[in-house]
Amino acid sequence: MQPQAQLEHIAEEDKPILREKIRKKISRATALYLPAVILAIASLIVINAGELNFQNDSFQGIMNVFLVIGGALAARLYAAELMDLNKDLKSWEKKIIRGTVHEKTGNKIHIASHVIALDAHLAEKVNKGDNVEVQLSIKTETVIRLKKFTA
């Protein structure tokens, strides 16, 4: 079976599913990036408040540079992740891929040139050689639905 990909409008019953999955991704991003930003800010405050005495002022300067760069990078990655997820929430379309699963590696399936990451409970339902229809959000490729069918 030749894989097919097309765009369709998101049905109203699929929107709550997509919202819930995006909320989980926001929680994961928050747990990953926010502690790094808070740690960088707290370290900058402790270092520059005079509670730590450095023998060499250049070491304090180097520490400041690394903490500012690390905190800014984590904040930028967090903001980019939130913007991508927000675009997915506002999107009116979903991508639908129909085809045969050529390979399954862990929670990832391969349909022709598409590699799709599935949740653990969805990955258990799919085996190599199954004909599937996968509905994905456009921007972050969050799986909305997965259906098996016979060719």
Q: What tens digit of pLDDT does each residue of 88-144 get?
A: 888 888 888 888 998 988 889 998 788 888 888 888 888 888 889 888 888 788 888
**Which CATH number is correct for 4-11+91-149, 3.40.50, 2.40.50, 1.10.3470, 1.10.8?**
2.40.50
Q: What is the DSSP string of 105-128?
A: ETTEEEETTEEEE--HHHHTT--T
pLDDT in tens, 32-74: 999 999 999 999 998 888 767 777 778 888 889 999 999 999 9
pLDDT band with cut points at 50, 70 and 90 for residue 76:
very high
Annotated domain spans of the chain: 4-11+91-149, 15-90
Half-sphere exposure of 29 (CA within 13 A, CB side): 18
* Cα–Cα distance for residue pair 72/81, rounded to 1 Å: 14
pTM across the whole model: 0.72
pLDDT in tens, 122-138: 888 888 888 898 888 88
* Cα–Cα distance for residue pair 128/53, rounded to 1 Å: 61
